[in-house]
Chain A
């Protein structure tokens, strides 16, 4: 089975621009979660999508948004980029239950390295 794929792998943007990152989950996985990784804050949860609906949300401003398509692929969008948005953005997919909750492990993609100048 193919793993989680993320595109692009590297991205350089300028402050004020917007960016869209893409994630394709493992086949059969309906849950996609996004995490931001920075040296200062570590790994932080952004949001989770399940069956095209946002099910959980972390503590990030509204500039961070996402969506999920019917084939479970997900996109994450960041508008009005700030220097502090420079990070590795990781996507993770999981079998997850329709009722939500823990127990299913999450499998991570290689990430998208975003640099904001």
Chain B
């Protein structure tokens, strides 16, 4: 069965520092992968998606993610954190039936 694992339920960075949120997936065939962000009391907003066109995917708000098949990883990065980036981030894999399987989420804290 497919699964998604996000390493670290909480990540804390200083404003201006690099953001790195880790995601690993299990599958014999690379699935479609997504990163979503959730702000308090809101739904999920799509940050970026991987659909096998390019291994480095750029998303909104300066985020990007790199698909590495050999490591079954899809880590999310941003060169310089802003206070407004504080939120919960979810990595998700889309199965061949179309449903999304989510990781447990990583809460990003940005310190001034």
Query: Do they bind each other?
Result: yes
- The reply to whether B94 and A102 contact each other, CB–CB distance below 8 Å, is yes
Measured CB to CB, the residues of A under 8 A from B are 4, 6, 31, 33, 35, 42-45, 48, 55-56, 58, 90, 92, 94, 96, 100-111, 113
- The reply to whether B43 and A109 contact each other, CB–CB distance below 8 Å, is yes
Say yes or no: A110-B105 contact (C-beta < 8 A), given A56-B98, A101-B98. Answer: no
8 Å CB interface, B29-76 against A: 31-32, 34, 36, 41-46, 49, 51
Measured CB to CB, the residues of B under 8 A from A are 31-32, 34, 36, 41-46, 49, 51, 90, 92, 94-105
Chain A residue numbers with a CB within 8 Å of B90 are: 43
- The reply to whether A45 and B99 contact each other, CB–CB distance below 8 Å, is yes
- The reply to whether B105 and A56 contact each other, CB–CB distance below 8 Å, is no
CA–CA, A107 to B44, complex, Å? 8
Chain A residue numbers with a CB within 8 Å of B36 are: 108
- The reply to whether A45 and B49 contact each other, CB–CB distance below 8 Å, is no
* Total A-B Cβ pairs within 8 A: 67
CB of A8 to closest CB in B, whole Å: 14
B49 touches which of A43, A92, A105, A109 (Cβ 8 Å):
A105
- The reply to whether B46 and A107 contact each other, CB–CB distance below 8 Å, is yes
Chain A residue numbers with a CB within 8 Å of B31 are: 102
- The reply to whether B51 and A103 contact each other, CB–CB distance below 8 Å, is yes
CA–CA, A113 to B41, complex, Å? 9
A102 touches which of B32, B42, B103, B104 (Cβ 8 Å):
B32
- The reply to whether B49 and A42 contact each other, CB–CB distance below 8 Å, is no
CA–CA, A1 to B31, complex, Å? 29
Name the residue of chain A whose CB is nearest to the CB of B43: A108
